[in-house]
Amino acid sequence: MRLIESLGKWLDARLQIGSAIRESAEHPVPRKTASWFYVFGSAAFVVFAFQIVTGIMLALIYVPSAGQAWNSLQVLNHNVGLGWYIRALHGWGSNFMVAIVLIHMVQVFLFGAYKYPRELTWIVGVFLLLVTLGMAFTGQVLRFDQDAYWGLGIGASIASRVPVMGSSIVHLMLGGPIIGGATLSRFFALHVFLIPGLLIAFVGLHLLMVLKLGINEWPMPGRVVRKETYSKEYHELTKKDGLPFVPGAIWKDLFFSAFILLSIAACAYYYGPFGPSGPPNPTIIQTAPRPDFFFLWLYAVLSFLPPSMETPALLIGPVIVILALLLLPFLFGGGEKSWRRRPTAVLTILLVAVSLGTFTDLAEHTPWSPVMDAWSGDPIPSKFLHNRSALERQGALVFQVKQCHNCHSLGDEGGKRGPALDAVAVRLTQDQLIRQVIQGGGNMPAYGKNLTPAETTALVAFLETLHPAGQSPAKDASRAIALGGDSAAPTSGHLQYGNE
């Protein structure tokens, strides 16, 4: 004990930082901020440090070469003792870090902590969010598998839409004309050197300002931020009702950070590492690329935007969001801090959370994509085939063979790209069915060139059987009259169309 003490004295005589450290550790914070709501920032910092450690562990084995990276991940997963676990820790650490940074941001927003005089702390925080997302995306690329390869293609396709400079930006991003060795090398440099460097610099600034300006006081309804008086009020508060950060508040940070690290360790143990999926060989096209969890919402948005909106939304949308975040403290720098008096702030958070949650959930099910193997893998449920005529069953065969099932579900099986057809005969008359099949429309391709008249006849005959038992199919009331006053509706076997 004595040895440690004298060693400490020896060091401090030379470094002379002991008093500065003690001063920052014991700086007074408002008593109410020693709260479980104020633990997310420190947890994000701890997870970041954890990511650096596990990242360096992975770099001992990982090979940042397009030809070798995937194999080196296999080696990590299977040949290196507990290599899989380090990969899992880093992957889960990444998810936790993004989640905690987002929660931290929401808490700061709802507690009005971005208001005067902490505008710059918020702005640096916005950059911290961006570089954290940058780490998540580049990290996903380093897991150089099929998803990473095609994900890069998606990134390139988005970047290429920038007017005039699009092509140059793509070449700079990929490091060449195609996704290849140079691409992985530069994403490695970004993920391992450049972005972490920025992250460390921003974290330093962020922390410095938290220390200099003091932690945001607990927002009280009615306590309004005024630039002229705020600093004085804050200092009085910390003097009157404050306590030293160490040990007054830090024990909650310590417990929460340890709990988060334990959660990462548990997730890594139970769920294991992420991928890699198939090898990054672009000639293997039987793949449905998907981004990692935190980019799923974007994946969904990209499928719902109308084509004409897509390029403007992709290029201008992020700029608007980032600008709005950066300008927030200047537009709403004073006034109430408490979320109880800021209904718009609460509604904004709810709206964003519900939107992102909905899009993420949709992206888990991708209802907009054809199910590529439904035509060969999902048979038509037998209830749709009982007591059907030969023609109608032939139509069911056409339905399968022509891949209709990839986009249309029957009995909940098959694609969800188009409407479910369980009761299509109630919605469309025979003529409408024929027209829809041949001409397409409403986002359905036209099948006129790929169906013979006989196939169309059979297919429509089958579709006409698709209605609930007690409900009769839709009929065109004028059809019988148009066909010569015959009251009997023509049967499906005598369709009239084509160039008769």
Partner 1 sequence: MTQSGGLSRRELLMKLGIVFNGVVGLVLAVPIVRYLLSPIVHLRKEGDESWVSLGGVEQFPSGETRLATYRNPIVSPSDGDTADIACWVRNVDGNTFQVFAINCAHLGCPVRWFAQSGLFMCPCHGGVYYQDGSRASGPPERGLFQYPYRLESGKLLIKAGQLPTPGNPVASNTNIVREIRPCA
Which residues ranging from 49 to 78 are in contact with partner 1 (CB under 8 A)? 65-68
For tokens 């003490």, name the residue: 5
Q: Should residue 420 be labelled a site residue for partner 1 when binding is judged by CB under 8 A?
A: no
Q: Should residue 195 be labelled a site residue for partner 1 when binding is judged by CB under 8 A?
A: no
| CB 138, CB 277: distance < 8 Å | no
335 strand-pairing partners: 225
Of positions 8, 18, 177, 197, contacts partner 1 by CB under 8 A = 177
Nearer to partner 1, 161 or 252 (CB): 161
Of positions 24, 95, 107, 185, contacts partner 1 by CB under 8 A = 185
Of positions 50, 384, 447, 462, contacts partner 1 by CB under 8 A = 447
* Structure tokens, 243: 């306590």
Of positions 289, 333, 381, 419, contacts partner 1 by CB under 8 A = 289
- Exposed e or buried b per residue across 443-462, where buried means at least 16 C-beta atoms within 10 angstroms of its C-beta: ebeebeeebeeebbbbbbbb
Nearer to partner 1, 24 or 65 (CB): 65
Of positions 19, 382, 387, 443, contacts partner 1 by CB under 8 A = 443
Q: Should residue 368 be labelled a site residue for partner 1 when binding is judged by CB under 8 A?
A: yes
| CB 12, CB 18: distance < 8 Å | yes
Nearest-angstrom CA–CA distance, 385 and 465 = 9
Task: Look at residues 149, 171, 155, 131 and name the one whose alpha carbon lies nearest to residue 302.
Answer: 155
Nearest-angstrom CA–CA distance, 357 and 355 = 5
Nearest-angstrom CA–CA distance, 178 and 181 = 9
Nearest-angstrom CA–CA distance, 314 and 317 = 6
User: How many residues of this chain bind partner 1 (CB under 8 A)?
Assistant: 71
* Structure tokens, 379: 């048979």
For the bound state, the minimum distance from the C-beta of residue 65 to partner 1, rounded and expressed in Å, comes to 4
Q: Which long-range contacts (CB under 8 A, 24 or more apart) does 470-474 make?
A: 471/423, 471/426, 473/425, 473/426, 473/429, 474/425, 474/426, 474/427, 474/428, 474/429, 474/432
For the bound state, the minimum distance from the C-beta of residue 457 to partner 1, rounded and expressed in Å, comes to 17
| CB 100, CB 214: distance < 8 Å | no
Stretch that binds partner 1, among 211-219, 330-338, 343-351, 401-409 (CB under 8 A): 401-409
Nearer to partner 1, 220 or 446 (CB): 446
Stretch that binds partner 1, among 209-217, 237-245, 318-326, 402-410 (CB under 8 A): 402-410
Of positions 280, 395, 414, 473, contacts partner 1 by CB under 8 A = 280
Q: Where are the alpha helices (DSSP H) in 366-486?
A: 374-377, 390-401, 404-407, 424-427, 430-439, 453-464, 479-482
* Omega before residue 276 within 30° of 0, cis: yes
For the bound state, the minimum distance from the C-beta of residue 340 to partner 1, rounded and expressed in Å, comes to 42
* Structure tokens, 201: 């610099």
Q: Enumerate residues 371-390 that contact partner 1 by CB under 8 A.
A: 372, 375
Of positions 394, 403, 409, 436, contacts partner 1 by CB under 8 A = 403
Of positions 24, 95, 277, 303, contacts partner 1 by CB under 8 A = 303
Q: Enumerate residues 123-142 that contact partner 1 by CB under 8 A.
A: none
Q: Enumerate residues 156-175 that contact partner 1 by CB under 8 A.
A: 156-162, 166-168, 170-172, 174-175
Q: Enumerate residues 469-498 that contact partner 1 by CB under 8 A.
A: none
Of positions 417, 422, 459, 492, contacts partner 1 by CB under 8 A = 417
Nearer to partner 1, 105 or 170 (CB): 170
Nearest-angstrom CA–CA distance, 405 and 409 = 6
CA–CA distances in Å: residue 310 to residues 162, 220, 303, 356, 360: 12, 43, 9, 18, 19
Q: Enumerate residues 453-472 that contact partner 1 by CB under 8 A.
A: none
Q: Should residue 452 be labelled a site residue for partner 1 when binding is judged by CB under 8 A?
A: no
For tokens 């069953």, name the residue: 393
Of positions 401, 423, 426, 481, contacts partner 1 by CB under 8 A = 401
